[in-house]
Amino acid sequence: MATIMAEAPVQQKSNGTAPDKRWVYLFNALDVLEKEVQPASWDDVRSLLGGKGANLAEMTRLGIPVPPGFTVTTEACNAYLAHDRNFPPGQWEQEVAAVHTLEQQTGKRFGDAENPLLVSCRSGAKFSMPGMMDTVLNIGLNDETAQRMAELTGDPRFVYDSYRRLVQMFGSVVMGVPDEPFEQIIEEVKEIRGVRLDVDLLAEEWQQITARFKGLIMAYTGSEFPEDPYKQLELATRAVFDSWFGKRAVDYRNATGIRHDLGTAVNIQTVVFGNMGEKSGTGVAFTRNPVTGDRELYGDYLMNAQGEDVVAGIRNTLPIGHLKQEMPKVYTQFLQICEKLENHFHDMQDVEFTIEQGTLWMLQTRDGKRTARAAIKIAVDMAKEGLIDKKKAIGRVQPAQVDMLLHPQFGNEAKKQAQADGRLLVEKAVNASPGAAVGMAVFDADTAEKWAKEGKPVIMVRPETKPDDVHGMIAAQGILTSRGGATSHAAVVARQFGTPAVCGAEELHINLEQRLFTVQTETENIEVQEGSWISIDGGAGEVYLGQLDTQEPDFEREVELKTLLGWADEVRVLGVWANADYPQDAERARRYGAQGIGLCRTEHMFFQEERLPIVQEMIMARSKARRVSALDKLLPMQRADFEGIFRAMDGQPVIIRLLDPPLHEFLPGHEQLVQELADLKVRLQHFHTLSEIDAALAEVRHKEDVLSRVEALRESNPMLGLRGDRLGIVMPEITEMQVRAILEAAVHVKRQGVDVYPEIMVPLVGHVNELKTVRKLTEEVAADVFKQTGMEVDYKFGAMIEVPRAALTADELATEAEFFSCGTNDLTQTTFGISRDDAEAKFLIQYVEQGILPRNPFQQLDRSGVGKLIEMAVQQGRQTRPDMSVGICGEHGGDPDSIGFCHQIGLNYVSCSPYRVPIARLAAAQAALA
């Protein structure tokens, strides 16, 4: 009997760690861990063993059939990475000892040709990162054990299929050989045999393929595939540790916000074989539908296969329900285990299993990745079922998932028209991840990432995706594959990121070399080249040629979301208001649950087509009288706008900001006018009739007049020039018109029975005397309006905190202002001393990528700088006026992290886009629970 004995790895350098420290825990030693480590919570166990290792240990403790194994801790990984990729003292010896324990548990011997123990080596971080790190199966096979196993089992095809998997995975994962040459060898052999599927290849063909794989490894690396099982195990362990900082893993963690210092555990598990014939198989399943959230088993399996075949998408799979007919007893046992796991972990589980000659084994369980819709439905349903409480349900759903759910969808009419035009390419593929996506077809991950950075929307098209494609998948608007099922890599990752995906579209014939795909329809063969526009419906599994129009989803039909947000409203402290400039915006905001309007920007109303000429007339006026005349024309228009918003927000406050931008923004640009004048003067030379010349000269004089006014208004830095309250003080008639329109509208709707609460906000305040000046004018206009109408309306007068001096002197401003609203967009610009547009175009993205700034401060509030100013404004303002209401109204009002900060410092409300109101409601509740 030939036995290959354990060999120690290359001598390790000491890293200062005590040699008696435990780095390895058996799956059945969870009680030992809890006694030694005394973890404060299950989270601590997951931190040490990784999510996979912790759950395998817990399943073992629950009596669920789990193949024996052990876990090398995340601490070992971090020690290895921190000390020049050397195992910490004692780790390898503990691994070898654990292998000997597995030998006792299984009755097999590692490296023994007569009765070999084979193991898998898998990663397992604290947080699930599906497919992002490395796995090696069937460790322990070599030429001698494979030959003897073939003799003992009488099934050489199974043995050499297993052996070639080890060599292929080891070559790719451990020795760095690209995947494609291995697949090319398999495809060549299948073509020679004239077969389509891997399962159709014979034992001798797999034996030949394995030999060619070994030659490939030698050619690429200059090293031979190791025959020593312990060397295989050592190198595989190192490879999994190293994969923690592989590109795809780093990209994934960056995209999901997972810390880079957690490390990964390594799980060594006895191999059970799903490729031992027609009574063996493997699969992946979810205890609830991860697409819809319905309470039904959902997944795929393959007979006579190993697990990687399912998730890789190389073979199209069978739905898990089909197993009930094929192996009813196994299916019933599997259902019972799934129910037990969900009840134990109180969440939808994603499980992997293998059936070895009719015996069921569970290889993994973890909280399943799910779509936004499924996340919300599962959370609400589990709360109603009593598995979790309402607070837990609120915490289960990420605000970003609410955002995903409310993304635009394809309308029925657009889809019907596309079908009528013959643009439906794929009608019924796997609806892997819902949502509508429109983009240009690209055929590799690098191109997808590059084009996306250039601002091009892309849909990544692949036969199947691999973990190395994750950077392109993150960048893409949608994902389309010709192979793979609902639990393939493409489907799982797409659901994780809320990216629409259609998988298993067998109608597509993808040519990666020519960078195109073709589809044979009933009438023609359609060719789609890279860069062509396509549209995919991930909820229906449909693919269309060209760009389909999208439409806003119907919020009222989202029953589970409305239920969840209702629970959120019960616990949140922060109010959630909306930014709305028109009545229809206010109506939408109210439908989405807004409790008020935190910012109505009056300047947006001035840009409407019928109003812009009147605004320009006001700006061009050379005298106050002519300016007032133009403003009198604008007054009824502004008043009607405000009446519409007040009606929409009946019973809720509406903050209206007085005119903010500099006046030149309403006029044509200087360069444009100079060019138009030059062109006009050239054309003037070609006119012949007196009427043509007179008309042209009149136009020249008009443009010269406009150019003169533009030059008079031109400023070196208009963002810090004549705008906001400064403009309202220099030209008080503008402020007077706006205040009159606000209060006349309020009186009018109040007479009609509307409960109205107007709040007048002064922008860009920097000094209390500015506020005093505008307040005096406001009160004079208010007195006149109330006298003329014979009715009064309660209103508030407040200041917008947009410059550092306003925050620093908030105690003084509070003597005049009854409320503060922090305009975080401009406050960020003035605090950092940067222009947003210029910064984002020139250096800000680079700053974030290089780690100079932790994040874009215009997307997530800069707590340590801008945040300190806001907190100072809150504290000082309330020292002067204890009942001072303070909120924010920049884009940060819809950012969950920024909302958490607003809750911490005691703001009264956040105000955001109407579309982000549901997100803010949930984020505010989670901040309160935190």
Asked whether 177 and 221 are in contact (CB, 8 A), the reply is yes
List Cβ neighbours of 574 (8 Å cut-off, separation of 6 or more): 899, 902, 903, 907, 908, 909, 910, 924, 927, 928
Q: Which of 600, 889, 902, 912 is catalytic?
A: 889
**3-state per-residue secondary structure call for 805-840:** HHHHCHHHHCCCCCEEEECHHHHHHHHHCCCHHHHH
Angstrom distance (rounded) from CA 565 to CA 587: 18
Q: Is 28 helix (H, G, I), strand (E, B) or coil?
A: coil
Query: Amino acid identity of 97?
Result: A
Angstrom distance (rounded) from CA 796 to CA 781: 14
**Angle between helix 896-904 and 917-929 (nearest 10):** 50
Q: What are the backbone dihedrals phi and psi of residue 190, each rounded to the nearest 5 degrees, phi first? A: -65, -40
Angstrom distance (rounded) from CA 855 to CA 861: 9
Angstrom distance (rounded) from CA 864 to CA 857: 11
Angstrom distance (rounded) from CA 378 to CA 380: 6
Asked whether 800 and 763 are in contact (CB, 8 A), the reply is yes
Q: Which of 489, 748, 892, 903 is catalytic?
A: 489
The structure tokens listed for 146 are 């494979």
Q: What are the backbone dihedrals phi and psi of residue 457, each rounded to the nearest 5 degrees, phi first? A: -75, 130
**Angle between helix 559-571 and 372-385 (nearest 10):** 70
The residue count for the chain: 930
The dihedral region occupied by 331, where left means phi > 0, alpha psi between -120 and 50, and beta the remainder, is: alpha
Query: Amino acid identity of 696?
Result: A
Query: Amino acid identity of 98?
Result: A
Q: What are the backbone dihedrals phi and psi of residue 801, each rounded to the nearest 5 degrees, phi first? A: -90, 100
Largest Cα–Cα distance in the chain?
A: 114
Query: Amino acid identity of 537?
Result: D
Tell me how crowded residue 483 is: count the other CB atoms within 10 A of its CB: 23
889 catalytic? Reply is yes
The catalytic residues are 489, 889
